Chain A
Amino acid sequence: MGNTLFTVTGCTRCKIVKNFMNDRSIAYIEKDMKAEGKEDFQKFYAANRKAIYRGPEGIEFPVFLDGAEIRQGIGAVIAYLQAGKDLDGFFSVGTLHKEWVDGIHVSSGNPAYAEEFLAVLRFLKNVNMKLKVDTNGKNSRILRQILEEGLASLTVMEVAGPRGLYGRILGEAVDISEVEESIALTARFPRYQFRTTVAPVERPDGEVSYLTPEEVAATAGMIEEITGSKKQPYKIRLFRRGKEADDRLKALDPMPAEALFGYRSAARVHQVFTEIDNE
């Protein structure tokens, strides 16, 4: 089976992907789901519905398939065309529209493919898209490159928690010096934001509990210490359990939204502009 690109009439991102494929002589069949490709898309969608992301504004186009893999959204499709599965993790389907591209995760891909990842960002930037880049502190070397090349229009760093809990929260070994460097780098972007999710953490005794207000305050304090400022744009938000949550997380009651007020007060000791993220 060859390459198929499902598009929709009037989709600028679809045109950008088509231009990318045409420029590189990548053969494909285009199927416009509002025109001649309607029936084919219906069949494809019915068969692959669980693999297709639907955001608040519906299905994100373009959708690419080559018989083995499906990729959706401008970033993920370009990345796959550029480097196959090597860039998996760096991109997810975004939810922003118009000139913005999100779903770009500096920390979630394999740093061995940093140059291929950066090449995708350069391409998107060169076609006048604005890039929203997410990081949790890992892969700080790539974040530095993004900063130096001016590739991001907005950088959001999820500062997972205080130093001592960082690895436990992410569920993997973390070089905290990388996290510290990413905090310092993030504060140098023209537009940026720090954010902490009040997430569940497995404690040394095996118990699972949410980050405490004191731990979020320590996180805000780490940002203050590294950036030298109490006035950073900093948001805290509720943890949203994914479908893949393990049994221990399922046993944990969801945190009520009003509980965040106490966290905000605690964090404001170190970051005076701390706000609750309701998005």
Chain B
Amino acid sequence: MSDKTVEELSFPEEIRYHPEHTWAKIEGGLVRVGITDFAQDSLGPVVFVELPGIGDEFDKDEVFGCVESAKTVSDLYMPVSGRVEAVNHQLEESPDLVNTDPYGSGWIILINPRDPADIDNLLTRDGYVSLLKEA
């Protein structure tokens, strides 16, 4: 579990959230994906991120990789269906970017969504925060 309270964590308004703690942000026609501040704080220091291959296709809610920390191994879930257009190779050298900048340089994959409307079905900031508070 996270060491911090929900209020101490950061959840930007402009992105959408998957209940399994990944986020999605529309950038042009593509969707950038990472894990939330709650997820990174719960994991603790990340030591490895298993990335998918470019061109791999996944359905929404499908596991596309995993994040490994000293505490645990956690699967990564696709927030929307689509094809992987790019992966963050910086994480191979510096996996802790996921901890230090989860919504910025710690992004994980960039996908070409099969249906851009998928993103509308994800949680808003308030919806995600409510989910965390209920848990």
Q: Give A residues with C-beta under 8 Å from B.
A: 8, 33-34, 38-39, 41-42, 45-46, 49, 54, 56-59, 61
Contacts and interface: CB of A to CB of B under 8 A. Distances in A.
B48 A58 contact: no
Interface residues of B, number: 14
A38 B48 contact: no
A49 B48 contact: yes
Contact of A33 (B45, B48, B73, B94): B45
B71 A42 contact: no
A42 B96 contact: yes
Contact of A58 (B71, B95, B96): B71
A42 B70 contact: no
B57 interface: no
B88 interface: no
Contacts of B45: 33-34, 38
27 contacts: A8-B70, A33-B45, A33-B47, A33-B70, A34-B44, A38-B45, A38-B96, A39-B96, A41-B47, A42-B94, A42-B95, A42-B96, A45-B48, A46-B47, A46-B48, A46-B92, A49-B48, A54-B68, A56-B72, A57-B71, A57-B72, A58-B69, A58-B71, A58-B73, A59-B68, A59-B70, A61-B70
B48 A34 contact: no
Interface string B88-128: 00001011100000000000000000000000000000000
Given A8-B70, A57-B71, A58-B71, 15 more contacts: A33-B45, A33-B47, A34-B44, A34-B45, A38-B45, A41-B47, A42-B94, A42-B96, A46-B48, A46-B92, A49-B68, A54-B73, A57-B72, A58-B70, A58-B73
Nearest to A34: B45
A257 B73 CA distance: 26
Contacts of B72: 56-58
A257 to B, nearest CB: 24
Contacts of B48: 42, 45-46, 49
B47 A45 contact: yes
Contacts of A49: 48, 68
Contacts of A46: 47-48, 92, 95
Nearest to B94: A42
Nearest to A56: B72
A42 B92 CA distance: 9
A37 to B, nearest CB: 11
A58 B68 CA distance: 8
A38 B47 CA distance: 8
Nearest to A59: B70
Nearest to A44: B47
A74 B96 CA distance: 26
Interface in B59-102: 68-73, 92, 94-96
